[in-house]
């Protein structure tokens, strides 16, 4: 293993942020919703955060949980299965469901209690995830990450489909008998997934399209990493300037470059040298490329080339119409495959849905696609 490989941080595009700055307006809106919901136990709220991969959705979800817990809310991290599967909800609740066994022992007899207690999965006759939640009294925040998978593989004729719809409607519109909120995070198709479950009208400031960090917040995150984690000797400003020029405020890249920087400083006894900075930037670029390769996995070269071609004449911050992207894909692979590729690009975060149009969400991802896959046509010799 080379020294550069040893300095390469693990790629993580979700999870708690070690150093969190920014998103103040979003967190203020979320805190306000907590207060509204607590004042009115019948007040339902779905707080939706969606963005491209690496934008810091999961980290923001963790901060929402901290805010709620600070105000006395119980928080529970669930998955999409727990919305319809009683067993899954019970296992997530851990010991919180056990009082139901006592009721079963009284109502159905001790033999039934023994049967359920010893089962590999906990079957609770007559109960659903919603009924379990409704039994509580304290304010409850449900946290659902990777929410773009909601309803995947579930037909509208499936009995579970109706269970999920009813549950989401109660969470969204109220009527759970106590303050309950649902905070969700997912890719830019998340709102579409919820609309497929008849949840489409969100209360004011409860629909968040998450973008990059503002410059001030990005620099604070880098400063924390370099000073607190790397214990840097001297002024870290030159390193912060250089890293920020490559990360464009994208939290996943900020964290990856910053982790590489702290590892480099350990090698250099906390001294920030020009050679050390160059090594950090090289490792960061490799990690960034690996991140994009992972995101684009499942898209063949002709798909990537077609998408790159659709954006070749655009700036990094410009959006493109679905029609233009599809025309490029259809020309390359045909109608049916083009539709599948478009959906996959959206699902994987190579494309991001923005107000009816689409973007390659990260500036450096834009560069990676264009530089590696756009075939510049030679127009000096027009075809016959």
Q: How confident is the model at residue 120 (pLDDT cuts 50, 70, 90)?
A: very low
Quick one: CA dihedral 216, 222, 226, 227, positive or negative? positive
Q: Are residues 132 and 205 in the same domain?
A: yes
Domain boundary among 209, 231, 260: 209
Q: How confident is the model at residue 103 (pLDDT cuts 50, 70, 90)?
A: low
Q: Are residues 85 and 205 in the same domain?
A: yes
pTM: 0.82
Q: Are residues 79 and 143 in the same domain?
A: yes
Predicted confidence at residue 379, as pLDDT, reads 38
Domain presence at residue 380: no
Predicted confidence at residue 77, as pLDDT, reads 93
Q: What are the structure tokens assigned to 356, written together?
A: 């009816």
* Nearest one of 49, 55, 353, 52 to 207, comparing CA atoms: 49
Domain boundary among 276, 295, 314: 295
Return the higher-pLDDT residue of 245 and 5.
245
- List C-alpha distances in Å: 109 to 102, 106, 206, 296: 10, 6, 46, 55
Q: Are residues 110 and 133 in the same domain?
A: yes
pLDDT higher than threshold 60 for residue 107 = no
Give the residue-averaged pLDDT of 352-366.
89
Return the higher-pLDDT residue of 204 and 263.
263
Predicted confidence at residue 376, as pLDDT, reads 55
* Nearest one of 350, 337, 351 to 302, comparing CA atoms: 337
pLDDT > 90 fraction of the chain, expressed in percent and rounded: 59
Predicted confidence at residue 99, as pLDDT, reads 55
Predicted confidence at residue 287, as pLDDT, reads 93
Rounded CA separation 337/92 (Å): 39
For the chain, what is the largest distance between any 2 Cα atoms, rounded to a whole number of angstroms? 87
State the chain's mean pLDDT as an integer.
85
Q: Are residues 232 and 356 in the same domain?
A: no
Q: Which of 50-59, 60-69, 93-102 has the lowest mean pLDDT?
A: 93-102
Q: Are residues 271 and 328 in the same domain?
A: no
Query: How many domains is the chain partitioned into structurally?
Result: 3
Residue 356 three-state SS: coil
Give the residue-averaged pLDDT of 351-374.
91
Domain presence at residue 112: yes
Q: Are residues 230 and 257 in the same domain?
A: yes
Q: Are residues 98 and 174 in the same domain?
A: yes
pLDDT higher than threshold 50 for residue 282 = yes
Return the higher-pLDDT residue of 234 and 114.
234
Domain boundary among 156, 182, 209: 209
pLDDT higher than threshold 80 for residue 97 = no
Domain presence at residue 255: yes
Q: Are residues 57 and 182 in the same domain?
A: yes
Give the residue-averaged pLDDT of 35-56.
89
Predicted confidence at residue 11, as pLDDT, reads 45
Q: Please spell the DSSP secondary structure of 260-319, one letter per residue.
A: HHHHHHHHTTTB--HHHHHHHHHHHHHHHHHHHHHHTTT--HHHHHHHHHHHTTS-TT--
Residue-wise pLDDT tens digits, 168-196 = 999 999 888 889 999 999 988 899 889 98
Domain presence at residue 37: yes
CATH code for the domain in which residue 345 is found: 1.10.10
Rounded CA separation 368/381 (Å): 28
pLDDT higher than threshold 60 for residue 98 = no
How far out from the chain centre does Cα 342 lie? 20
Q: Are residues 291 and 356 in the same domain?
A: no
Predicted confidence at residue 123, as pLDDT, reads 52
User: What range does the domain containing 196 cover?
Assistant: 24-209
Domain presence at residue 8: no
Predicted confidence at residue 136, as pLDDT, reads 80
Q: Are residues 153 and 108 in the same domain?
A: yes
Q: Are residues 59 and 132 in the same domain?
A: yes
Residue-wise pLDDT tens digits, 316-342 = 878 999 999 999 999 999 999 999 999
Domain presence at residue 15: no
Domain presence at residue 72: yes
Domain presence at residue 379: no
């Amino acid at each position: 293993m080379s020294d550069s490989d040893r300095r390469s941080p693990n790629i993580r595009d979700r999870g708690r942020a070690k150093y969190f700055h920014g998103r103040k307006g979003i967190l203020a809106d979320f805190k306000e919703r907590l207060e509204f919901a607590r004042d009115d136990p019948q007040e339902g709220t779905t707080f939706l955060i969606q963005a491209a991969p690496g934008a810091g959705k999961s980290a923001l979800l963790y901060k929402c949980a901290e805010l709620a817990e600070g105000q006395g809310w119980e928080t529970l991290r669930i998955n999409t299965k727990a919305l319809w599967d009683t067993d899954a909800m019970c296992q997530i609740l851990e010991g919180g469901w056990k009082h139901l066994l006592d009721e079963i022992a009284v109502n159905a007899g001790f033999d039934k209690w023994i049967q359920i207690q010893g089962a590999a999965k906990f079957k609770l006759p007559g109960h659903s995830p919603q009924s379990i939640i409704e039994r509580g009294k304290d304010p409850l925040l449900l946290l659902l990450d990777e929410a773009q998978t909601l309803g995947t593989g579930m037909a509208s004729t499936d009995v579970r489909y109706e269970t999920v719809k009813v549950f989401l409607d109660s969470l969204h519109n109220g009527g759970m008998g106590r303050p309950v909120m649902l905070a969700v995070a997912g890719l830019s198709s998340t709102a579409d997934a919820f609309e497929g479950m008849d949840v489409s009208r969100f209360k004011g400031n409860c629909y968040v399209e998450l973008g990059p960090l503002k410059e001030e917040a990005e620099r604070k995150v880098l400063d924390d990493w370099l000073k607190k984690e790397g214990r840097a000797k001297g002024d870290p400003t030159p390193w912060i300037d250089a890293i920020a020029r490559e990360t464009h405020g994208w939290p996943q890249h900020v964290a990856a470059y910053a982790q590489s920087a702290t590892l480099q400083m350990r090698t250099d006894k906390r001294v920030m040298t020009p050679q050390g900075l160059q090594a950090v930037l090289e490792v960061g670029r490799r990690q960034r490329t690996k991140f994009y390769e992972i995101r684009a996995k499942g898209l063949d070269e002709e798909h990537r080339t077609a998408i790159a071609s659709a954006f070749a004449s655009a700036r990094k911050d410009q959006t493109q119409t679905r029609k233009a992207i599809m025309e490029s894909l259809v020309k390359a692979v045909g109608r049916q495959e083009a539709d599948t590729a478009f959906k996959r690009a959206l699902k994987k975060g190579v494309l991001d849905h923005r107000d009816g149009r689409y973007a390659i969400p990260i500036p450096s991802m834009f560069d990676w696609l264009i530089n590696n896959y756009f075939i510049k046509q030679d127009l000096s010799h027009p075809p016959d």
